[in-house]
Amino acid sequence: MPDGPPTDWNAVWTAYRKRQLATPGFLPEDEFFAREENVARYRAQVAASYHGHVERQLASMAIPDGAPVLDIGAGPGTLAVPLARRGCRVTAVEPSAPMRRILREYAEREGVAVTILGEPWEAIDPAALPGPFDLVVASYSLMMLDLRAALAKMHAVCSGCVCLFWSLTPPGGRVVERVLWPAVHGVEYPPEPMADCVYNVLFQMGLMASLEAEYSAFEHRFQDLDEAVAEFRARLNGPEGPEARLREPLARLLSRDVGGAYRLDRSAWNAAIHWDVRDQPFDAGRHPVP
């Protein structure tokens, strides 16, 4: 048996997040997606590349048409609007004002209703929600410092299944950012915790979840090197004028087509983590770290 206390996986998650927030140049997600240009860029990427991935996400949740659904970190409505098209009564939690505007426009174009709450999940009062929900979903939106508390609240407002989507391995964009970050900010890039950490937090809460791995193939195309430099300057939250430091490494890291376009392979292993709350009641006070 190993010596010492067991690993507290929620503390591991929090340490990763705190390291990110303390890293020079790192922009928290709420600040990053408060910028219209970043939201517009993200929306274009979703429209260009994510359709097949979204369909697989929806199929994996197997949610009945018409069910009440809570979508945490709904973004531009990537899941919320397709679920509403199926007749689901969708409540979307989305703190970014530009994201909420795009979500509303998307829902209006599709002729569906989505209830939108503009606070982060940590600030939501469960008593104010129109739950309980047959499905609670958080798709690549686990940005909380205290993951255990966020997951316990999801469990508490759910009457069916909680489904989380998160990365198992860093996507290609993160690999490139890790190379470029020191050139822009003079420090190493702060990695985020992966899905194994999420699963272990749940296990230490006494919640037995299923984890399904999927290899997702994504490609991001840039018309030319200038477009790629502008994209990564925004991602890196770089100061004015770092373009010269980005051009040479990006030209080396990205693939190039015969026609001159540049390609970023953003493929990665992702995880769908889900559990049925009806199978395992949870009491936050009765499941300390083992």
* Per-residue model confidence as pLDDT tens digits over 120-161: 999 999 998 998 999 999 999 999 999 999 999 999 999 999
CA angle, 204 then 206 then 211, to 5° = 80
Q: How many CB atoms lie within 10 A of CB 54?
A: 14
Looking at per-residue pLDDT, the higher value among 70 and 37 belongs to: 70
The percent of residues in the chain predicted with pLDDT above 90, rounded, is 52
Is the alpha carbon torsion for 99, 190, 21, 237 positive or negative? negative
Alpha-carbon gap, residue 186 to 179, rounded angstroms: 11
Domain ranges for the chain: 9-171+191-221+269-278
| Strand partners for 274 | 163, 210
Tell me whether residue 147 is exposed, middle or buried, using C-beta atoms within 10 angstroms of its C-beta: 0 to 12, 13 to 18, 19 or more: buried
* Tokens standing for residue 62: 């197997």
Half-sphere exposure of 56 (CA within 13 A, CB side): 14
Secondary structure of residue 141 in the 3-state scheme? coil
Mean pLDDT of the chain: 88
pLDDT of residue 93: 97
Tell me the pairing of strands 68-72 and 89-93.
Answer: parallel
By the 8 A CB rule, do 211 and 273 touch?
yes
Q: Tell me 278's DSSP state.
A: G
Q: Label residue 100 by pLDDT band (50, 70, 90).
A: very high
Q: Label residue 284 by pLDDT band (50, 70, 90).
A: low
pLDDT of residue 1: 47
What is the pTM assigned to this prediction?
A: 0.90
Looking at per-residue pLDDT, the higher value among 289 and 127 belongs to: 127
Q: Label residue 240 by pLDDT band (50, 70, 90).
A: low
Alpha-carbon gap, residue 168 to 197, rounded angstroms: 9
Q: How is domain 9-171+191-221+269-278 classified at the CATH fold level? A: Rossmann fold (3.40.50)
pLDDT of residue 202: 96
